[in-house]
Structure 1
Amino acid sequence: MGFREWQRRRGVRTVVLGTAVAVAVALGLNTFVFNDPRSDAEILVDDFVEALNDREPGDAAELTSYPNAAEPVLAQMFDGLSDGSVDYDVTQLVELNADSGYFTLTADWNFGENKDWHYQVDGSVRKLAVGWRVSWSPDVVVPDLAGRTVHHVRTDAAPPMIFDGTGKPLMEEQTINAIVLNPAFMPDSVASTTRLAEILAPVAPVITSELMQQRLAADPGARITAVKLRDQDYQFLEDDIVAVPGVEVIKTPTLVSSDRRVSTPLLDSLRSAWQLERDRTAGWAVTLEDPEQGPIQVAGFQGPPPPDLTATVDSHVQLAAKEAVVTVGTPAALVAIQPSTGGILAADVNNQAMELGPVATRGLYSAGSVFDPVRLAAGLDRGVAPDSVNTEDLAETAGRLGLGVEYSVPGFEFETAQIGHGRSGVVQFTGDGDDELLVSPLGAALLAASIARGEAPAPMLVQGQPASVTDAPEPLPSQVTDALRGLMIDNVQNGPASFLKGHPGLAGIAASAGDDRWFFGYTGDVAFAVFVADADGGDRAVKMADRFLTELAKPPA
């Protein structure tokens, strides 16, 4: 039995033996006293190791010859390696004489699967006036620690890029420079903000002195970020910016769009997918931070470069969507999907919708006549009149068209529809709380894509990473899908969406729900949905769709 195992059990043994002694005395038998077979030096080293394994720097330090020096070093070690587990063990203890000896410890640190750091250290013990103590040296816990600090760090190779569906750069990591105002170092806030506004005017004219003054006054004494600039903008202004009293510049690597014209709510989801790849390929290291040499790696490995990602987003389609949504003065959104693959080609909202949250991908709104083709399909599939289908029948048919299905895409959260009152946790922005039929702009685009394709495509944001589907429904019979396509063609050629009939190959439906207006349809391999809340005209969604299609028809820039 080892020292530590004996130590864990000695309390029990002492109790048992104490009882035995009491019985022996009562019986008039010879008494005996149990002695710890370990020497004082052995007990000291065992206790020191136990304190290390319990991550108690104070307890371990008290067992050394210099507690005041040992405790901060041990505390930093446990802090710097806080996400690891450790097991110190005594492999050797040699007592040289009655007053001194030496020992050897092994240490096994684990920072996750296949992330192990094993080493051996030597130390000495001495008998002092206060008893036996471990002769303190930082090297008794980590090799070569004296004068340094130890850290567990993540290691990453060069960050990957994200390309759009046509192979153009879409997102890349760039240095973003946060221009921060610190009132503590600003003798004259008016002078500083006025000068900074003049400097920023060529690249950020909306950042005025008045705006900065208002923000400073709103939180007296607090630092505020005036603006964030890309390197290509900052480098021409740097000398002037840093000369302004009270200005600090904080540089942060950030994944941003390669073309600043391309902005979409999908960028955040792409950042999540990008980060998942970096996490998957990240390496690790234990480093000793030397005041003169910098970090010295003593364990770990460099993670391999993660592969570049190709998004399904098409920059040309995205720019067309942006031109469309800004034509409307009430909250509006547009989502485009490629029917053949399920790839999300574009998603955008205007400023009014941006204030409401994730309208394009998670906002659920009263479906109104958006569900007319679903109701028609449910009736045709069952051989009954569309008005006679119940909510359960409607939900089943909607699922076969991609609505209300449980999709899972890493890094991308979205809602398609809510049918009935059986789901919770959805984001509903408008509409009657009693509505049984709710749909999102992405859901309406997916409905159009399903009709165009003949079955529901699995939505996808990164090529090669389609959504996983729980209980994927069977497609509708082809004759039902053909009837829906005919309905959509007639709606454009002869019905409420006839304003759009000049766009060749377009099939779609103009729909409404209260004051909200919708248009969803497809042309070629692009299916899309337009949503306008509180529309100021009955044809507002149709006209927004017209602008989108007009921009889409232009040659890519």
Structure 2
Amino acid sequence: MGFSASPRVRRGCAIALPLCLIVVSGAALASCSDQKLDASAQSAVIGFVQALNDRDPEAAAALTSYPNAAKESIQQMFDGLDAQESRWTVAQFMELNNDSGFFTVDVDWNFGEGKDWDYYVDGGVRKLSVGWRVSWDPTLLAPGLGHGASVRYDRTDAAPPKVFDDTGTPLMSEQTINAIMLDPEAMSDPAATTDRVAKAIEPVAPLVTADYMREELAAKPGEKVVAVLLRDPDYFYLEQELTRIPGVVVDKQPRLITDDRRISTPLLDPLRTVWQMNRDATAGWAVNIHEPDGSVQRQVGYQGPPGPDIQATLDSQMQLAAENAVVSVGTPAAIVAIRPSTGGIVFAAQNNQAIDQGPIAFTGLYPAGSSLDLVRQAAALESGVAPADVSDADLERAGRQLGIGLHYEMPGLDPATGVLTEAQSGVDRVMRSQDGTETQVSAFGLAMVAASVARGSVPMPMFVEGQQATAENVEDALPAAVTDQLRNTMRDNVQKGPASYLAGYRDLIGVASGNETDRWFFGSRGDLAFAVFVADADGSDRAVKMTDLLMRELAKSAQG
């Protein structure tokens, strides 16, 4: 519901642009048609209102008695409200005498669906030496303005929701983050400042070196740069030392972060996106008058209710186990795991070398090499031809039946699965794998293949409970006999094939594959399907050995 000032009769005569004149004669108002309006007075009021409709502060201010103050206030109003629409309409005009007049303006603001503010303002117009001018007063813009006050559209939020993991353990919450910033204008000796900052933060952020900070300052000359982000406990420990260093500025910022600082996954940013969407959906709004003393007077709006907490599909303990496994190599590596029964992503881990390249567990496409042999086998079994004779159309169809080659739509996450044929790539040239075929896969894509074989059909992935992905061109499940044959192939690969290093895990099935120096292992064990990727591996069995370490770390996490 919109807001109006106290009710009163404002339309003795209906008035629209061009403006009719209402003339006061004693206590009575004469008819519009009986009087003649001073054209200059009319021009001043109409011009002022039209300039406001045009959102032209300079033009509106020029028609007032105090242009400099008016321009500043009008500009602040438009900046502070930033409305989708605003409309100013002259409702009344009365000529008081030859040198003055009175007018009323209806004002309507719209800030989005259901967010309307409407009111009226009164004003005067006077004949000055420079001509007719609207008598400037900040209340011409909105009730309550004046004496240094400003008007602003504000978002109103209740307490922020929390993010829990699949077991109900707190995963993420909004906390204060202290941004330690470097201001080049406040430091006389940048080298000395960065050296001191690096030494101060070394116990909590050893990777943020003085050289790194100097590179950041050089890349953004004259600008403040962020040296490091510190949680409150770390900042309180270092505060006294940091605040004594010339050029250090601390900016406190609320941010959604993990409750356990050890947890690092490429799913954190997607979870932040979902969390923010949650807040946006329940946010309230207000138009407030902000007084110079800091007090706030609400004009219209309401408080937003608290949004529901978010339950992620991640398992914190399993995530930590995957992180322990993925850091066992010094080249980019990633691990992704999915529950075949639900499609929930249980964990996704990358080492520092992979993190430097972005969220490659979900978006990194690498030459597939032999990793798609299982998909080709499925296509051959369905079409009744030899694997080498499988057509592109049959390969693509079998891929979609195994969850690869589909585009999954998820809020906050846009994963890539793979490119099975040149036609699928959408480009003229794509990377060629070792056998010359133009195929690419991601860790997420191979995890989907493993989950689809384990389940017998493609599960729709999700990383937030109740928010499963959608995808176009999803195929019917593979025939059961074909799926059984794929499982047998994966079982043989572990028990007596290239992945026999893992033969001790009797319930594990999977495929060891690779392309040149990249290595993969993807498979399933119980209700856990996963893919392990190691780029530029230092041995042909590197992904298999990482899988072994993953299994051992998962076993330890299960024991508590």
**Contact 1:325–1:348 at 8 Å: present in 2 too?**
yes
User: Match of 2:117?
Assistant: 117
Contact 1:138/1:145 (8 A) holds in 2: yes
| SS of equivalent to 2:122 | strand
Instruction: Give distance in 2, aligned partners of 1:540 and 1:236.
Output: 41
- Looking at structure 2, the residues matched to 298 and 220 of structure 1 have their Cα atoms a distance apart, in angstroms, of 43
1:145 and 2:150 matched? no
Residue matched to 2:25:
none
Quote how far apart the aligned CAs of 1:524 are.
1.0
Does the 8 Å contact 2:176/2:254 carry over to 1? yes
- Aligned partner of residue 45 in structure 2, secondary structure: helix
Q: Distance in 2 between matches of 1:429 and 1:308?
A: 42
Give the conservation status (yes or no) of the 8 Å contact 1:375–1:389.
yes
Paired residues in the alignment total 529
Q: In structure 2, what residue type is equivalent to 1:379? A: A
* Counterpart residue identity of residue 110, structure 1: N
What residue in structure 2 maps to residue 182 of structure 1? 183
CA distance in 2, matches of 1:105, 1:4: 11
Task: Describe the superposition over 1:453-487 as per-residue Cα deviations: whole angstroms up to 9, x where unpaired.
Answer: 00000111111000012132110111111111111
Deviations 1:96-146 (A, max 9, x none): 233322121110000111110111111122223333222111111211111
Distance 1:74 1:344, change over 3 A: same
Partner of 1:78: 78
Tell me if 1:231 matches 2:232: yes
Deviation at 1:3, TM superposition (A): 6.0
Corresponding residue number in structure 1 for 2:276 = 275
Query: What is the match of residue 412 of structure 1?
Result: 413
Distance in 1 of aligned mates of 2:194 and 2:406: 52
Q: Distance in 2 between matches of 1:516 and 1:192?
A: 43
Q: 2:485 aligns with which of 483, 486, 490?
A: 483
Aligned position for 2:460:
458
Q: Distance in 1 between matches of 2:214 and 2:137?
A: 54
What do residues 237-295 of structure 1 show as CA deviations (whole Å, max 9, x unaligned)?
22222122332111111111111111011111111111111222222221212111433
Q: Is the 8 A contact 2:369 2:514 kept in 1?
A: yes
Describe the SS at the equivalent of 1:357. coil
Would the alpha carbon gap of residues 46 and 354 (structure 1) be closer, same or farther in structure 2, given more than 3 Å must change? same
- Give the Cα separation in 1 of the matches to 2:513 and 2:551: 18
Once residues 399 and 221 of structure 2 are traced to their aligned partners in structure 1, the CA distance between those partners, rounded to angstroms, is: 54
Q: Is the 8 A contact 2:335 2:532 kept in 1?
A: yes
| CA 492–225 in structure 1, closer or farther in 2 if over 3 Å, else same | same
Deviation at residue 323 of structure 1 after TM alignment:
1.3
Which amino acid in the other structure matches residue 528 of structure 2?
A: V
1:292 alignment counterpart: 293
Deviations 1:373-431 (A, max 9, x none): 212211222233333211111111111111111211011110111122234579x9965
Q: Which residue in 2 is equivalent to 1:66?
A: 66
* Residue number in structure 1 paired with 2:319: 318
2:218, 2:17 → 1: CA distance? 64
Task: Say whether the 8 Å CA contact 2:333–2:353 is kept in structure 1.
Answer: yes
Q: Which residue of 1 aligns with 2:251?
A: 250
The aligned counterpart of 1:103 is 103
Most deviating of 235-244 and 136-145: 235-244
Q: In the aligned structure 2, how far is the partner of 1:369 from the partner of 1:424?
A: 18
Matched residues in 2 for 1:247 and 1:241: separation?
A: 7
The corresponding residue for 2:133 is 133
Secondary structure of 1:152's counterpart equals strand
Separation in 1, partners of 2:430, 2:370: 18
Question: Structure 1 pair 59/385, CA: closer, same or farther in 2 (3 Å)?
Answer: same
Q: Which residue does the alignment assign to 2:4?
A: none
CA contact (8 A) 2:534 2:543 kept: yes
**Alignment partner, residue 6 of structure 2:** none
2:146, 2:74 → 1: CA distance? 11
- Structure 2 partner of 1:56: 56
| Superposition deviation, residue 447 in structure 1 | 0.1
What are the ranges of 5 or more consecutive residues in structure 2 without an aligned counterpart? 1-12, 20-34
**Residue in structure 2 matched with residue 373 of structure 1 by the alignment:** 374
State the distance in 1 between where 2:431 and 2:353 align.
Answer: 14
Q: Distance in 2 between matches of 1:397 and 1:518?
A: 20
Matches of 1:268 and 1:431, distance apart in 2: 31
Large movers: runs of 4+ above 6 Å? 217-220
Distance of aligned partners of 1:432 and 1:385 in 2 relative to their CA distance in 1, 3 Å threshold: closer
The verdict on how the C-alpha distance between 1:305 and 1:67 changes in structure 2, with shifts beyond 3 A counting, is same
3-state secondary structure, aligned to 2:452: helix
| Aligned CA distance change for structure 1 residues 130 and 185 (closer, same or farther; 3 Å) | closer
**Alpha carbons 1:451, 1:484 under 8 Å: kept:** yes
Residues 218-241 of structure 1: CA distance to partner in whole angstroms, max 9, x if unpaired? 766654433221011111222222
Counterpart in the other structure of 2:557: 555
Q: Which moved more, 1:201-210 or 1:428-437?
A: 428-437
After TM superposition, give the deviation of residue 192 of structure 1 in Å. Answer: 4.1
- Provide the C-alpha distance between the structure 1 equivalents of 2:121 and 2:17, rounded to a whole number of angstroms: 22
The alpha-carbon distance between structure 1 residues 287 and 392, as it changes in their structure 2 partners (threshold 3 A), is: same
Pairwise CA RMSD of aligned residues?
2.5
Q: Which runs of 5+ in 1 are unaligned?
A: 8-35
* Distance of aligned partners of 1:548 and 1:431 in 2 relative to their CA distance in 1, 3 Å threshold: farther
Q: Comparing 414-423 with 108-117, which one deviates more in the overlay?
A: 414-423
The corresponding residue for 1:518 is 520
Deviation readout 1:501-524 (Å, 9 max, x if unpaired): 112411111112222211100001
Code of the residue aligned with 1:57 in structure 2: it is: P
Q: Specify whether residues 51 and 413 from structure 1 end up closer, same or farther in structure 2 by C-alpha distance, changes over 3 A only.
A: same
SS in 1 for 2:557: coil
Query: Partners in 2 of 1:134 and 1:543 — Cα distance?
Result: 81
For the residue of structure 2 that corresponds to 1:199, the secondary structure is helix
Counterpart AA for 2:543: A
Given that 1:519 and 1:529 are in contact with CA atoms closer than 8 Å, whether structure 2 keeps it comes out as yes
Alignment-derived partner of residue 353 in structure 1: 354
Cα distance in structure 2, aligned partners of 1:177 and 1:512: 44
TM-score by length of 1: 0.89
**Partner residue of 2:404?**
403
SS in 2 for 1:166: coil
Alignment CA distance shift 1:223-1:507 (3 Å): same
Q: 8 Å contact 2:77–2:150 — kept in the other structure? A: yes
